[in-house]
Structure 1
Amino acid sequence: MITRDIDSFIALAAGLPVVAPTCARAVFMVSPDGFRLAEQSARDNRYMAMGEAVDEACALAEHRALQAAVRRVLPVTVFPGDAATPDAVFPNNVFATAPGRYLVGHMRHAVRRREAERADIRAYFKQTLERREIDLSLQPGVCELTGSLVIDRARGIGFCGLSERCDETGARAMHEAFGLNVTLLFDLADGEYHTNVVLSVLASRAVAVASSGFADARVPEAVAALYGGQALRLDARQKAEYAGNCITLAEDALFLSQRAHDSLDAGQRGQLADWGFTLHVVPMPMLEKAGGSLRCCVGEVF
């Protein structure tokens, strides 16, 4: 079921059992070679620091540190970047996986649609991993994969925020392609572009949620209730510092940027510890100028 009706969604989602892994078994990344800020993306990504200078060498060093941190938990495959596709450092919006298949997103901006055409990444999934291809770039709806759609993988639950980066047609295509049991559709607040900046599911047992990122305040409350109140509540400042753009890469391993980590108070860090999470913190100030943070840099292999 895919619905906007919160009550219908909760009635189904609350009864779904954990039947699949909560976290990825490997990840893929794209190096920030030729790192710069993409002017097209800045049209609807207010998190981009368009007025600031960027440094490719610094971005590359940050990315290498991120790779090293993640490799302590999971295998990492890294693809080269290209100055012609500056947003490619955020590959989770373009490529995603589900058991036995991989998805290609339908990107809003032309600079990102070029990423979806990469033969080397497609070959990695099709030939190396032997995955069936589902190319959503060929269908009419815009859908920027796990940027727009946050997924509870263990229970097959989707949370899809609609914006310029994802419309209802695209959301329905993702719901089917990922094979989800139920997906809640909702509008993001004005100025928000991706759901994964305002919401993260943490190993299917908790959530990080920024209520100011949702057009309807009932949605984040329903999401929090679905996880038994185990919700890390983020204010607007913490959202702007990318605290919602975090990712669990193991049952006990929560990854977030230094900037995001530093925005949390002691009580919030204590909550995460009580829920069984160890924080893995990576400084990413240069990469974050491009309008995304740690979670956006990490593509998951399920």
Structure 2
Amino acid sequence: MFVTDATTFLDAWRQLDTTPFGLATAQAAFLVSPAEFSLATESAQDNAYMAMQSSTDPLRALAQHAALAQALRTDLPVVTFPGHPATPDALFPNNVFATAPGTLVVGRMRHAIRRTEAERGDIRSFFRNVLGYTEIDLSSRDDLVAELTGSMVIDRARGVGFCGLSERCDEAGARAMHEAFGLRMTFCFRLAPGEYHTNVVLAVLAGRAAIIAKDGFASVDVPDAIAEAYAPHVVQLDAAQKRAYAGNAIALSSERVWMSDTAGRSLENAQRALLECAGFRIGTVPLDEIEKAGGSLRCCIAEIF
């Protein structure tokens, strides 16, 4: 089912099959390390979160990324692939590569510099030859834009996708991802002007809780409907917390939600209590150097289901 308005979404949500669709959290994850970390001018055309006036420290970015991988390994196995200086955004692989059980999905990126990432034979070979996954390749299609789990936030337990339309994803891309991930339902909506990815304004945590930045959506009906679906375990972010990447969070186990140190420090005590009530500890990692590139912790993680 593919729905495009809040009322239809809530009606369909109430009628969802209660049988679990799949695992609520990933079995493993992979990262791509930053190489000669820099900011991609092409990506800045539609990513207002990028700190283009800032200088960058490649060694500090590499150290923060390594610390992230080490921290995440306390929850699940993590594989790190090397980056390349020619693809400075490659440290955000979740936009290019994503998985459903037994399937690797390769996205169709808006910018040419990111389409180069989709050509990586080592990552494709890892899934095909080592894990035995089949491949659904959207990267060769010129009739859509689909930046995978940047644009599509997925409740894996229920098989429900939340897809925000922007310059990084059009409706054709949303429908292609719905089919590629084999979802029960996708709720498709427009993001607010200036927003580029859904996973900056929405996180769904192991199917039990949601973090929502209401001002990141074009219509208030959308975040209100999502909040109703996940009530009472809903953390509402203000604009400053959204800017601090508090919405760019992920649960990689049933007991912990990960976000950057900047994001974690932005939360109020009542918001922390809401996450704790939902059964989550908060894990944080300093990523302020990496965040200059317009993404944060969740953007760095490609989940393996």
**Counterpart-to-counterpart distance in 2, 1:229 and 1:143:** 31
2:199 matches 1:208: no
Superposed displacement of residue 275, structure 1? 1.1
How many matched pairs?
302
CA contact (8 A) 2:47 2:194 kept: yes
**Residue 21 (structure 2) aligns with:** 19
**Residue 47 (structure 2) aligns with:** 45
**Residue 295 (structure 2) aligns with:** 292
Superposed displacement of residue 19, structure 1? 3.3
Superposed displacement of residue 3, structure 1? 1.6
**Residue 75 (structure 1) aligns with:** 77
**Residue 160 (structure 2) aligns with:** 157
Amino acid at match of 2:137: D
1:161-240 equivalences under 5 Å are 161-240=164-243
- Please identify, of 228-237 and 208-217, the stretch whose mean Cα deviation from structure 2 is larger: 228-237
- Measured on the aligned residues, the alpha-carbon RMSD in Å equals 0.8
**Residue 135 (structure 1) aligns with:** 137
Q: 2:93 aligns with which of 86, 91, 109?
A: 91
Superposed displacement of residue 291, structure 1? 0.3
Amino acid at match of 2:254: E
**Counterpart-to-counterpart distance in 1, 2:104 and 2:14:** 27
User: TM-score, normalising length from structure 1?
Assistant: 0.99
1:94-109 equivalences under 5 Å are 94-109=96-111
Identical pairs, percent: 56
Structure 1 counterpart SS, 2:139: helix
Superposed displacement of residue 15, structure 1? 3.0
CA contact (8 A) 2:258 2:284 kept: yes
CA contact (8 A) 2:25 2:253 kept: yes
Superposed displacement of residue 138, structure 1? 2.1
**Residue 263 (structure 1) aligns with:** 266
Q: Deviation string for 1:71-113 (max 9, x for gaps)? A: 0110000000001000000000000000111100000000000
Structure 2 counterpart SS, 1:250: coil
Moved over 3 A (4+): none
**Residue 33 (structure 2) aligns with:** 31
CA contact (8 A) 2:5 2:189 kept: no
Superposed displacement of residue 12, structure 1? 1.7
Amino acid at match of 1:263: S
**Counterpart-to-counterpart distance in 2, 1:196 and 1:94:** 14
Superposed displacement of residue 11, structure 1? 1.6
**Counterpart-to-counterpart distance in 2, 1:46 and 1:155:** 32
Amino acid at match of 2:235: L
CA contact (8 A) 2:233 2:277 kept: no
Q: Deviation string for 1:104-159 (max 9, x for gaps)? A: 00000000000000000110111111100000112221000000000000111010
CA contact (8 A) 2:94 2:303 kept: yes
User: TM-score, normalising length from structure 2?
Assistant: 0.98
**Residue 6 (structure 2) aligns with:** 6
Amino acid at match of 2:39: L
Q: Deviation string for 1:35-84 (max 9, x for gaps)? A: 10000000000000000000110000000100010001100000000010
